[in-house]
Amino acid sequence: MSKLNGNERWKTKMLMSEHVDQFEEKQEDTVRKMITVEERTMVRDLILLPYIDTMVSRSLKEIELSGSILKRAFVIAGQAIQRRIMQDTYQLQKELKQRNIKVLPDEQEEFLVYHKIFCRGYQERFGLTRDVMRTEISLRLTKYTAELGAALKDYQKL
């Protein structure tokens, strides 16, 4: 927004319509280049998915070392969840690449994890607190487990 917007004196001055159109297009282009809420959510998910994969991998190793009777079933379920995590990661990377967005790890502080986002010529610093990460990871794991449970129920109906 320029200093002249809202100044009533300039409304009476003669402007060519093409200049007005060019100005409005320029303003719209700037807005389109900024990262949207949906893209921010995609970036957050892309950051969290490797953490989720690591947690599932550790859990699978613990299960394999246990003497549980259902060890094989748990391992198969864990591997199915890992495949779904990899699919989601691939889809997010593909979508963000199409939108010309790159995400790079930046630095980690005591309670914050930062990443740099390069979005259509703009650079932004994106931070997640560890509490938010824990909550989001828990929600995402619950979602994956529910999807697996629903798939098993559908399979039982056959």
Contact in structure between 47 and 128 (CB atoms under 8 Å) = yes
Q: Hey, what are 53's tokens?
A: 């994969």
User: What pLDDT sits at residue 17?
Assistant: 67
Residue 148 maps to a domain: yes
Contact 120, 33 (CB under 8 A): yes
Maximum Cα interatomic distance, the chain, rounded to a whole number of Å: 84
Residue 148 per-residue DSSP state: H
> In the predicted model, what is the mean pLDDT of residues 66-82?
94
Question: pLDDT tens digits, residue range 125-139?
Answer: 999 999 999 999 999
In a domain, 60, yes or no: yes
Band (12; pLDDT cuts 50, 70, 90): low
Lowest mean pLDDT of 26-35, 67-76, 96-105, name the range: 26-35
Q: Does residue 2 fall inside a structural domain?
A: no
- Number of domains observed in the structure of the chain: 1
What is the band of 16 on the pLDDT scale with cuts at 50, 70, 90? low
Separation of alpha carbons 61 and 75, rounded Å: 9
Q: Which of 110, 112, 108 is nearest to 129 (CA)?
A: 112
25 within domain boundaries: no
Query: Where does the pLDDT of residue 157 fall: very low under 50, low under 70, confident under 90, or very high at 90 and above?
Result: confident
Res 124: pLDDT? 93
Structure token pair of residue 81? 């969840």
Question: Is 118's pLDDT higher than 80?
Answer: yes
Does some domain include residue 106? yes
154, two tokens: 């559908």
Q: Cα 89 vs. chain centroid, distance in angstroms?
A: 9
DSSP string, 3-72: TTTT-HHHHTS---HHHHHHHHHHHHHHHHHSPPHHHHHHHHHHHHHHHHHHHHHHHHHHHHHS--TTHH
- Residue 32 contacts by C-beta under 8 Å, 6 or more apart in sequence? 120
Residue 136 and residue 48 in contact, taking contact as beta carbons nearer than 8 Å: yes
Q: Is 16 part of any domain?
A: no
Residue 66 has pLDDT above 80, yes or no: yes
For residue 67, is it within any domain?
A: yes
Listed range (29-33, 80-84, 110-114) with the worst mean pLDDT: 29-33
The range of the structural domain enclosing residue 49 comes to 36-153
Residue 13 counted as domain residue: no
